[in-house]
Amino acid sequence: MLNWILVDEIIKNGLKEDINNIDITTDTLIDDESKSAAQLLAKEEGVIAGLNVFERVFKILDQDVVVKFNVKDGDKVEKGTVIARIEGSTKAILKGERLALNLLQRMSGIATASRKYSDIVKNFPVRIVDTRKTTPGLRILEKYAVRAGGAYNHRFNLSESVLIKDNHIVAAGGIKEAIHKVKGRISHTVKVEIEVETIEGLKEAIEAGADMVLLDNMSLEEMKKAVEIGKGKVILEASGGITLDDLVDVAKTGVDIISVGALTHSVKAMDISLKFIS
């Protein structure tokens, strides 16, 4: 599900960025009455995400634009697939084309990466989750795309849950001190996660009452040891530069969650084009 109040704000800001006053090319070249049809084409294999966002760009420009989809979010498509047909005001289609494609391509790239990571560990009892390493202003869309691809979301923002990281620990005076202080000030409904870099840190976090522990940049052997100690006591999250090549080995350690910043921070946009056919 998407919060369309927030999505519309993203789209309108994008349109304002692209159309400062008028679209000088389209508005001087195309008549107001002109109608056109176009096809949305996949130029490579991938997982689609963001179709309703793509459509909404054109609806904001002209409510009468019609978009007919041949696939749905989460579908894997082959190169050459006709994803959709767009019909309506030529001006609206031309003005919205770039923004609509930028969002769809970005979201589909994230969904494609999320599917790839999730599929690799589908036979293990572990979840692939994203991080807050998202494009500023686009987090709601990028995290939706992660879900469309079959992975899961970590916290959406700093207000949603507690994650005590290394700098928090230093500022608070230690792992135990940080956990006790935050637990004394939050609601009983809020879970507390803390980042540790050593087995000793894990033991201290468990003793202090952490609900979840993020194992930061630990070796495979350290992760296995952490699972022996913490499984069933806390939720264990592996994090820190984990790649596709590392994924199965990390899953085999028995951790509950693997967080992957690369799902959003360095993903390649999917190649999708919009071509007029009339």
Q: Tell me which of 68, 79, 165, 268 is the catalytic residue.
A: 165
Q: Is 239 annotated as a binding residue?
A: yes
DSSP-based three-state secondary structure for 85: strand
Length of the chain: 278
The answer to whether 240 is annotated as binding is yes
As a whole number of angstroms, the distance between CA 107 and CA 130 comes to 13
Instruction: Find out whether 155 is annotated in a ligand binding site.
Output: yes
* 251 marked as binding residue: no
For residue 119, the number of C-alpha atoms closer than 13 Å in the C-beta half-sphere is 9
Consult the annotation and say whether 261 binds a ligand: yes
Residue 98 annotated among the catalytic residues of the structure: yes
Residue 273 bridge partners (DSSP):
41
241 is in an annotated binding site: yes
Q: Is 193 a catalytic residue?
A: no
One of 133, 176, 183, 224 is an active-site residue; which one? Answer: 133
200 is catalytic: no
Q: Quote the CA–CA distance of 20 and 24 in Å, as a whole number.
A: 10
Reply yes or no on whether 165 is catalytic.
yes
112 is in an annotated binding site: no
Which of 61, 60, 79, 56 lies closest to 69 in space, CA to CA?
Answer: 56
Alpha carbons within 13 angstroms on the beta-carbon side of residue 190 total 16
CA 65/CA 191 separation, integer angstroms: 46
132 is in an annotated binding site: yes
Tokens 């409510």 map to which residue? 63
Q: Is 195 a catalytic residue?
A: yes
Phi/psi at 253 (5° precision)? -70, -25
Q: Is 195 annotated as a binding residue?
A: yes
- Are the beta carbons of 102 and 75 closer than 8 angstroms? no
DSSP 126-153: -EEE--S---TT-HHHHHHHHHHTT-B-
262 marked ligand binding residue: yes
Distance CA 54, CA 36 (A): 17
Active-site annotation holder among 98, 176, 203, 224: 98
Strand 66-69 to 82-89 pairing = antiparallel
Of 18, 197, 204, 216, catalytic:
216
Residue ranges of the binding site for substrate: 98, 131-133, 155, 165, 195, 216, 239-241, 260-262
| Active site residue ranges | 98, 133, 165, 195, 216
Residue ranges of the binding site: 98, 131-133, 155, 165, 195, 216, 239-241, 260-262
